[in-house]
């Protein structure tokens, strides 16, 4: 599938490099677990089953987690209309359209390919954005589907999920089962935890680096498709400001899905979270959109930098 979204070779190279490095890390992780647990059948079967489930059912999992539901044209005609026009312009299949009944204004795309993709927006976003701003956000999300980085980030995040689950399982096994285990077993469990923590840390860094670049690529592709980078800049400024007003404790559940969101669920004082964010800073995104406005011969609005 080749859409009319502006291609990004650097994004493609970064996705390939990330998957290659994570693939090596994944093989090493599975091999280490087999050596430590001495049961290759159990490790391989569980790892393969979880990877398959995440790849094939990622759209359903994401919708369920974010309380999203598929909506028909009769319910949200404007939303469907905007997506229809963008898909026709981009020459790409129309994704499933969903809405999440959440006050936090945001949007995300998920799915393993363009034929099995979902674009979901929250009711909080629909209430806040003007039509041109909504078009900019949806063009951004559709570009993730066209660039195939939605599937890549889903597969890439799998290793971190597995390592995190192993760490939790080992931790609770040590706490609640320590008295019933001999010293050798305890040493094996500690080694499993150490390997899992290392794998999680490395995958965490690789995924954040890819995620930040793919957001810039989606901003650029979406702005070039609509020809209105100022509208996307306005939406970014508005939504980032509104999310920053939400108490951090109310954003904690949503933060687990930051890699998929249009703008991250960070509070007014993110602190160290900003250093490990899945998204580039608002200033970086606005600066890029300002440059695109210049390329298109437009005058940046007051909401844009540069």
Q: Which residues are annotated as a binding site?
A: 140, 144, 215
The residue among 84, 81, 86 whose CA lies nearest residue 223 is 86
Q: Is 141 an annotated catalytic residue?
A: yes
* Annotated active-site residue in 141, 283, 287, 295: 141
Q: What is the CA radius of gyration of the chain?
A: 21
Between the CA atoms of 123, 125, 130 and 133, what dihedral angle is there, to the nearest 10 degrees?
-140
With 0-12 CB in 10 A as exposed, 13-18 as middle and 19+ as buried, what is 169? middle
Bridge partners, 179 (sequence order): none
The residue among 50, 162, 117 whose CA lies nearest residue 260 is 117
Q: Which helix (H) or strand (E) holds 68?
A: strand 68-70
The residue among 279, 273, 237 whose CA lies nearest residue 259 is 279
**E-strand stretches of 115-199:** 117-122
Rounded CA separation 198/280 (Å): 25
- Contact criterion met (CB below 8 Å) for 99 and 121: yes
Query: Pairing relation of β-strands 96-100 and 117-122?
Result: parallel
The pair of three-digit structure tokens given for residue 170, joined into one six-digit string = 């080992």
What are the CA-CA distances from residue 138 to residues 2, 79, 265 (Å)? Answer: 18, 9, 18
Name the one residue in this structure whose structure tokens are 């309380």.
67
Q: Which residues are annotated as a binding site for Zn(2+)?
A: 140, 144, 215
Rounded CA separation 228/246 (Å): 28
Active site residues per annotation: 141
């Amino acid at each position: 599938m080749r859409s009319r979204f502006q291609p990004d070779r650097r994004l493609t190279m970064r996705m390939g490099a990330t998957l290659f490095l994570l693939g090596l890390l994944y093989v090493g992780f599975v091999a280490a677990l087999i050596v430590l647990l001495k049961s290759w059948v159990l490790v391989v079967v569980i790892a393969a089953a979880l990877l398959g489930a995440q790849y094939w059912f990622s759209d359903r999992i994401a919708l369920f987690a974010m309380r999203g539901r598929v909506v028909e044209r009769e319910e949200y005609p404007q939303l469907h209309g905007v997506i229809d026009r963008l898909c026709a312009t981009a020459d790409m299949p129309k994704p499933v359209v969903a809405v999440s009944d959440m006050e936090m204004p945001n949007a995300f795309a998920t799915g393993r390919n363009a034929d099995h993709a979902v674009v979901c927006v929250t009711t909080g976003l629909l209430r806040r954005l003007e039509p041109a701003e909504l078009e900019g956000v949806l063009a951004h999300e559709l570009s993730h589907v066209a660039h195939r980085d939605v599937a890549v980030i889903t597969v890439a995040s799998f290793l971190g999920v597995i390592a995190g689950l192993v760490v939790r399982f080992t931790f609770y096994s040590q706490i609640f089962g320590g008295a019933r285990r001999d010293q050798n077993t305890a040493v094996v469990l500690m080694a499993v935890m150490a390997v899992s923590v290392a794998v999680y840390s490395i995958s965490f860094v690789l995924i954040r680096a890819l995620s930040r670049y793919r957001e810039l690529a989606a901003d650029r592709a979406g702005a070039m498709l609509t020809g209105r980078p100022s509208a996307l800049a306005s939406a970014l400024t508005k939504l980032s400001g509104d999310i920053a007003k939400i108490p951090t404790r109310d954003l904690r559940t949503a933060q687990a899905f930051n890699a998929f969101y249009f703008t991250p669920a960070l509070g007014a004082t993110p602190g160290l979270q900003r250093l490990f964010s899945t998204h580039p800073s608002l200033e970086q995104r606005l600066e890029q959109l300002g440059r695109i406005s210049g390329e298109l011969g437009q005058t940046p609005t007051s909401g844009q930098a540069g």
